[in-house]
Amino acid sequence: MTSSPNHATRPAHPLPIRVMHWIGVYAMACMILSGLVIYNASPILPFTFPRWAGLGGWLGGALAWHLSAMWLLFADGAAYLIYGFCSGHFRRDLRPQGFGALKRDVGAAVRFRLGHRIGHYNAVQRLLYVGLILVVIVAVTTGLSLWKPVQFGWLAGFYGGYPVARVIHFTTMSLIVAFVALHVTLVALYPRTLVSMIANVPTESEEHS
C-alpha cells in the first residue's frame, strides 16, 4: 500500500511542535535545577543534592528562577494543548491504541525489537507522552498551591493540604526526571529522532522500520 501524498510529505514534527518542544525543555530544565535548591532548603527525604547541581545559588534566587520558568512552562503548555487539539495532533498521534497494541509493543520493547519510524508514535510512546502531559499538569497545579497557599488554598485543599501537595509536587517532578532520563537514553539509541526534532524531516513511510 502506498502512502497518500499528504501523508508522504507530512513533516515528522511540524515547526510549532519543534519550537514548543525546545521551549519546554529549557523551562523544565530550569525548574528541575532550581527545584534542587528549593528542596535542599527543607528536604522531605533524608538526603540533599550537591550545591553545584542547583540553579539560583540560594533559596531566593532559586525561587526566582523556578517561578519564572513555571510561567514559561505554563504558557508553552497552554499553547501546546491548544495546538494539539486544533491541529489534530492529539487525535492523530497520541490517541491510545488499546491494550492489545500496548501489550504487543511492550513485549517488543523488553526484547529490544521495538522498531521506530520517524513521525509515528507506537503504543508505548503514546502512553508515556499522555502520562507526561498529565504529570506536568499536576506538577504545575501543585506548584501553584505551594507558591500561594492562601490565594490558592482551594487548590491545596484539593490535593489534601499543603504538606500533601508538597509531596505530590516532589513526586511528579521525580517522575518527570525519570521520563527525561528514559527519553535521553532512547535518543542516544535512535539519534535520528533528535535530527527530526531540529530539522524539517519528513514522516517515514509505513514500510520503514
pLDDT above 50: residue 65 = yes
Q: How far is CA 172 from CA 16, 111, 114, 119, 184, in A?
A: 26, 29, 27, 28, 18
Check if the beta carbon of residue 123 is closer than 8 Å to that of residue 102.
yes
* Helix axes 162-189 and 15-41, enclosed angle (nearest 10): 130
pLDDT digits (tens, 9 = 90+) for 136-155: 999 999 999 999 888 898 99
Domain edges within the chain: 10-196
Give the right CATH number for 10-196 from 3.60.70.12, 1.10.3720.10, 1.20.950.20, 3.40.50.150.
1.20.950.20
Q: Tell me what pLDDT residue 4 has.
A: 44
pLDDT band at 1 (very low <50, low <70, confident <90, very high): very low
**Helix H segments across 42-122?**
59-87, 89, 99-110
Which element (helix H / strand E) includes 197? none
pTM, two decimals, is: 0.82
- Give the Cα separation of 9 and 5 in Å (integer): 6
pLDDT band at 185 (very low <50, low <70, confident <90, very high): confident
Kindly report the average pLDDT of the chain as a whole number.
86
pLDDT digits (tens, 9 = 90+) for 34-48: 999 999 999 998 999
